[in-house]
A and B are shown apart, each in its own frame.
Chain A
């Protein structure tokens, strides 16, 4: 097995202040990795770095030949304009971007795929509903349907189960398991330790610095979690330039 993503002494941040500090390591192809840590630990920042929304302050990310559309990214839900007049079907069909692009038509076969994705997330019958009328869980199902269509090799989920009920979470976890079975690489930022232990074989514990990374049972120990909690969240405005060697 080869690495899908490799972080090389990666530092990401805002205004020179690091939010992810000197991260080294590789995510194997087909791995199912939970990324956890306190708020402000750099989970979202790490994903933004992988997708290319944020340039590294130092170090780098080796995508191993992945192009931008080989990576599917589910941001935290707040980024979406829910008042925009668009229905569930069209929202899901955006997942076809890689194949349809700017002008490509959507053929009968692709229409079938859209229907299948909508059925897979349990939203059959919602095709014509405006996204403004969806509940939080239904919106998240819609976004998972779009991810299904993106057919990406690497999938990044930023806190996908926040404010989502148990039934919806279970349904969506089935889709995550399906991706895992299809040998896709999945990374998810999560807060629920029980859920991580039950469904994610590998965990990266971040608290700006990487605290631990490996098999979930070995990472989520009381000692590691205490360590993560102690790391301070606030930027130090008088911090000196970092000289830590790679």
Chain B
């Protein structure tokens, strides 16, 4: 019974195994990235960038159909352009970065949907918006795994300046010039992870596996390394449980994964050790000193 529910679907069906591998690889890279986005108060930036990828991938689709290479290249280019453009607009004008990103992402979303509809059907559009985690081919899996590996290696390299730039940017600037390059490298990591997530979960949900686990972690840990571990684990758990949910109830799998992450978030919000609502409502007796 337990075996049938929790393990058999992955043993019996290859597409489930592939989906599981893809979701786990995504969670490995997206977890830590999400934690840094949250700590840098850039949660919505991730969302905006995910939408920004759409027109690029759509142009790739327009030129050469559902080709992995064309859509990935298009998504990467569009992601980098929007990240740079939003940064430049914020620096050059009075507009704050979040406002300029909101402008960019609304335009991108409209543009992307228009471009896809010019050539494709509604099925294609759904593919773009919500991904196809149950139809990952070898190339896509390799791409997602490569992105996860690059992300972990690169984060190890820029970990210290990244942390320091969040806590005390002035101090970092006074001891090192690594802050700027580290920030740019970090934005690049956000973009490639979103492009990886795009293939599995689509533009609308790719951020879900990044931000929801990070927010969950905030309710359980006071320390950044613990947060990263918890975020990654909840990403992995959401991937696994979401696929099972989708298998047994025929809910679409991408949304199922994000819904499970959403449930984890709700539970953490209520019962989390650090600032959860129940803990606030029923505080333990205060200490003597």
Against A, the Cβ 8 Å flags (1 = close, 0 = not) of B146-172 are 000000000001101101101111110
Chain A residues near B157: list those with CB within 8 A: 102-103
Within 8 Å of chain B (Cβ to Cβ): is A98? yes
Chain A residues near B175: list those with CB within 8 A: 68-69, 97-98, 150
Chain B residues near A51: list those with CB within 8 A: 173-174
Majority DSSP secondary structure for residues of A touching B: mixed
CB-based contact A102/B224 at 8 Å: no
Count of A-B contacts judged by CB separation below 8 Å: 64
Chain A residues near B169: list those with CB within 8 A: 79
Q: How far is the CB of B289 from chain A (nearest CB, A)?
A: 12
A130 and B275 CA atoms in complex are apart in Å by: 14
Within 8 Å of chain A (Cβ to Cβ): is B227? yes
Within 8 Å of chain A (Cβ to Cβ): is B39? yes
Contact A53 B164, CB 8 Å, known A84-B39, A87-B223, A102-B178: no
Within 8 Å of chain B (Cβ to Cβ): is A75? yes
Among B39, B164, B221, B227, the residue within 8 A (CB) of A94 is B164
Q: How far is the CB of B17 from chain A (nearest CB, A)?
A: 36
A72 and B171 CA atoms in complex are apart in Å by: 9
Within 8 Å of chain A (Cβ to Cβ): is B176? yes
CB-based contact B166/A84 at 8 Å: yes
Within 8 Å of chain A (Cβ to Cβ): is B222? yes
Could you say which of B170, B176, B224 has the most chain A C-beta atoms within 10 Å of its C-beta?
Answer: B170
Q: Which residue of A lies closest to B35 (CB)?
A: A85
Q: How far is the CB of B20 from chain A (nearest CB, A)?
A: 31
CB-based contact B174/A85 at 8 Å: no
Within 8 Å of chain B (Cβ to Cβ): is A73? yes
Chain B residues near A84: list those with CB within 8 A: 39, 166-167, 224
CB-based contact B173/A85 at 8 Å: no
CB-based contact B223/A85 at 8 Å: yes
- Per CB-CB distance, the 3 closest pairs between chain A and chain B, nearest first, are A79-B170, A73-B174, A84-B167
Task: Report A's interface with B, CB cutoff 8 A.
Answer: 51, 53, 68-69, 71-73, 75, 79-81, 84-87, 91, 94, 97-98, 101-103, 130-131, 146, 150
